[in-house]
Amino acid sequence: MPKLSVNLDFLFTDSPYLERFERAAAAGFRSVEIHWGWRGNVDAVAEALARNGLRLDAMNVFCGDYPAGDRGFAADPGRTDAFQSSIEEAIAAAARLGGPKMHILAGKRIPDLDIAEQFDALVEHYSWAAERLGDAGRLGLVELLNPYDNPGYIMESIADVEELLDAVDSPSLRIQFDFYHLQRTGGELIPTLRRLADRIGHIQIADAPGRNQPGTGEINYRNVLAAVDDVGYEGRVGLEYRPRGTSEESLRWIEEYGLGRG
């Protein structure tokens, strides 16, 4: 049975940020994942985790001004300093927060640059990050982002992710396997899961196409989560969906599917 972790940038967002930890614990969760709410707020987040008996499972590395369209620095050969600073900042925060896994966004296509030049930058930057994260006892994650929600993102297929992992060739960089993004791009969810099981560091779920909770779209999550068990994945499955209804109402599927929240 997969163990679940709730993403506090998608659920409980009608509460102030630090109050979401209490709501997650009250809903029965023992693990959470977060995006960038830790920046400038590390001590307060650490205290919220401890106060509510929660473990931080995964966090995002700073990727620039996300609402303005930034999606990371790794694909830009001219942003090495910004990229390395973002990694060092996240490593320092994780030493306080305990987050073992870090999602590193890759960045967007730069029209004036050849794609090969951008790929070389990706390899250089992620190779450096993998070495630093390995030394710090952390795991780097890379995922595809579908072009409907994130137009211009440079990693828009699972093949792109595999090509990068092959080039970096480090045990400290693995796939953040998001079933929602995969469904919006290529489908073949369970065969792809089985093929890449030994390269997956983290799993996230949302139904498609609306990115709401399981049972609201076209993905058969009963089959998908059974397959996650079958391949031997032992990590947390992150709930990164937009709740239809209140966050608490959106969690009813968990018991309906015979899962636990702890």
- Which member of 19, 47, 88, 143 is catalytic? 143
Cα(172)–Cα(141) distance, integer angstroms? 8
Cα(251)–Cα(27) distance, integer angstroms? 9
- Which member of 131, 240, 255, 256 is catalytic? 240
Residue 120, Ramachandran bin (φ over 0: left; ψ between -120 and 50: alpha; else beta): alpha
Give catalytic status of residue 143 as yes or no: yes
Cα(101)–Cα(59) distance, integer angstroms? 6
Cα(188)–Cα(179) distance, integer angstroms? 10
Give catalytic status of residue 240 as yes or no: yes
Cα(86)–Cα(261) distance, integer angstroms? 32
Active site residues: 143, 240
